[in-house]
């Protein structure tokens, strides 16, 4: 981020200088006082359990010399330049929008019920082969994280890939004007957040907020096989609409693909071109993820070789499709999050990779935030697992429904939590087993890996 002076901050945020000097300038922004360095602006956020104003002194001790504040009746460190604003969050978003619009570069926004983080990482891996690319890191995909990503945008960047998550209707709308994308991607519309949003139609409407700011020159790049996303057409909107998919005619289409232990081989048709790409991870869901990255590579005038190098360079984020071997045991750790579509997709991967292993073990835990759909969705996952796994360990309250759906298609164990799942696995794991670990993040199934390592020694 190029520097912004206190004078500019006052103008952008419509703030009031409470104390300090206008001569200072900042080169980055943080809402965590522990991450403040010299020349950083500290933004104290007032949350449900913590008030960032309580940490202004710590921010100052760490080298911060400028902060925002929405509480005047505070004692501030004498060294700190303090700018009063009516809302620190609103002011931070205004500064993030200012920094984003300093640079006339393509910005791609990505959302979806499942696969959006993998897709974001894939798109960035591909585009990075030709362009200096900024991407969302970690889980900075919400109202607080998106501005912090935009603050990392600098004059050397040539393109940006921004992930946008949501929990409620209106969540994406809160940040879409800051991001102001040229291309908006929707990977799919599933059942994530159905407990809060009540219907899949509402989930669709919440995802569709990512298209709100597209101009006539902008583009919606959407999954043309998704029943909800098929509703989005050029005729109804001012922006361009392009589709990717496997079924029927799309702008970017996977005509054929094979999924093996080695990964994917995909024949992709785009305009008059037919080219073959490979990807190191199996599963039909990854075909869709690759189509987004391949299509965006095409749209940005990349060659087949450049795109392929990007696919080869992809590394999954933590606990997402992390496939590794420990001794004679293969592990598919996809414990970061879960929904019905993602559960089925990873069970398909287990079945594919498990062809060369003696036993396929699925450790499946609760999918949270499913509301009234929860029991039926978990029961269906269990049914789907019948011919995918030889052994099932169901974890958590709704894990009982997964076990019930499995109906003793193989060995089945029902346990209360991640630690119990690990202890159960340790008793039964054998060399040449392949193990899938999948549940919502709140279940903490990544802890099972420690038991795998102990059992595999």
Which residues belong to the annotated binding site? Answer: 112-118
Residue 231 sits at the vertex; the CA angle it makes with 228 and 234, to the nearest 5 degrees, is 145
Residue 188 pairs with which residues in a beta bridge?
Answer: none
Written as six digits, the tokens of 222 are 């959407």
Closest CA to 260 of 354, 361, 357, 346: 354
Helix/strand/coil (H/E/C) assignment for every residue in the chain: CCCEEHHHHHHHHCCEEEECCCCCEECEEECCHHHCCCCEEECCCECCCCEHHHHHHHHHHCCCCEEEECCCCCCCCCCCEEEECCCHHHHHHHHHHHHHCCCCCCEEEEECCCCHHHHHHHHHHHHCCCCCEEECCCCCCCCCHHHHHHHCCCCCCCEEEEECCCCCCCCCHHHHHHHCCCEEEECCCCCCCHHHHCCHHHHHHHHHHHHCCCCCCCEEEEECCCCCHHHCCHHHCCCEEEEEECCCCCCEEEEEEEEECCEEEEEEEECCEEEEEEECCCCHHHHHHHHHHHHHHHHCCCCHHHHHHHHHHCCCCCCCCEEEEECCEEEEECCCCCCHHHHHHHHHHHHHHHHHCCEEEEEEECCCCCHHHHHHHHHHHHHHHHHCCCEEEEECCCHHHHHHHHCCCCEEEEECCHHHHHHHHHHHCCCCEEEEEECCHHHCHHHHHHHHHHHCC
- Cα gap 11→37, rounded to integer Å: 23
94, 68 contact by CB (below 8 A): no
Q: How many CA atoms, within 13 angstroms, populate the side-chain half-sphere of residue 300?
A: 27
Residue whose pair of structure tokens reads 């407990």 in the numeric block = 195
The binding site for ATP comprises: 112-118
Phi and psi at residue 274, in whole multiples of 5°?
-125, 115
Q: Select from 58, 54, 37, 36 the least CA-distant residue to 45.
A: 54
């Amino acid at each position: 981020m190029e520097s912004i002076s206190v004078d500019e901050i006052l103008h952008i945020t419509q703030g009031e200088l409470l104390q300090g000097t206008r001569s200072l300038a900042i080169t980055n922004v943080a809402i965590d006082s522990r991450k403040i360095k010299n020349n950083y602006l500290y933004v104290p956020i007032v949350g449900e359990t913590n008030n960032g104003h309580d940490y202004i002194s710590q921010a100052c001790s760490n080298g911060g010399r400028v902060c925002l504040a929405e509480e005047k009746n505070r004692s501030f460190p004498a060294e700190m330049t303090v700018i009063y604003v009516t809302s620190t969050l609103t002011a931070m978003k205004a500064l993030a929008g200012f920094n984003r619009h300093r640079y006339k570069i393509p910005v791609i926004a990505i959302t979806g019920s499942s696969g959006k983080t993998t897709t974001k990482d894939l798109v960035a891996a591909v585009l990075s082969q030709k362009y200096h690319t900024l991407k969302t890191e970690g889980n900075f995909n919400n109202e607080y994280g998106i501005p912090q990503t935009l603050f990392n945008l600098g004059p050397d960047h040539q393109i940006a890939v921004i992930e946008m998550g949501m929990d409620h209707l209106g969540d994406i709308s809160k940040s879409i004007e800051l991001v102001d994308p040229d291309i908006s991607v929707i990977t799919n519309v599933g059942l994530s957040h159905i407990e809060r949003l009540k219907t899949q139609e509402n989930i669709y409407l919440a995802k569709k907020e990512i298209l709100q700011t597209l101009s006539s020159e902008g583009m919606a790049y959407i999954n043309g096989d998704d029943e909800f996303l098929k509703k989005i057409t050029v005729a109804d909107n001012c922006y361009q609409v392009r589709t990717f998919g496997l079924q029927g005619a799309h702008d970017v289409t996977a005509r054929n693909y094979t999924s093996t232990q080695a990964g994917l081989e995909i024949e992709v048709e785009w305009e008059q071109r037919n080219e073959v790409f490979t990807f190191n991870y199996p599963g039909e869901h990854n075909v869709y993820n690759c189509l987004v990255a391949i299509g965006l590579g095409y749209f940005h005038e990349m060659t087949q070789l450049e795109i392929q190098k990007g696919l080869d360079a992809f590394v999954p984020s933590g606990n997402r499709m992390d496939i590794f071997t420990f001794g004679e045991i293969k592990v598919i750790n996809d414990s970061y999050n879960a929904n019905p579509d993602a559960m089925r997709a990873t069970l398909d991967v287990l079945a594919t990779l498990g062809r060369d292993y003696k036993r396929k073990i699925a450790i499946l835990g609760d999918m949270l935030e499913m509301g009234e759909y929860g029991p039926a969705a978990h029961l269906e996952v269990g049914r789907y697992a019948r011919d995918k796994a030889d052994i099932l360990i169901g974890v958590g309250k709704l894990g009982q429904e997964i076990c019930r759906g499995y109906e003793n298609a193989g060995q089945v164990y029902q346990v209360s939590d991640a630690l119990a799942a690990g202890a159960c696995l340790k008793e039964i794991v054998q060399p040449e087993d392949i193990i899938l670990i999948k549940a919502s993040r709140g279940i903490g199934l990544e802890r099972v890996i420690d038991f795998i390592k102990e059992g595999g020694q």
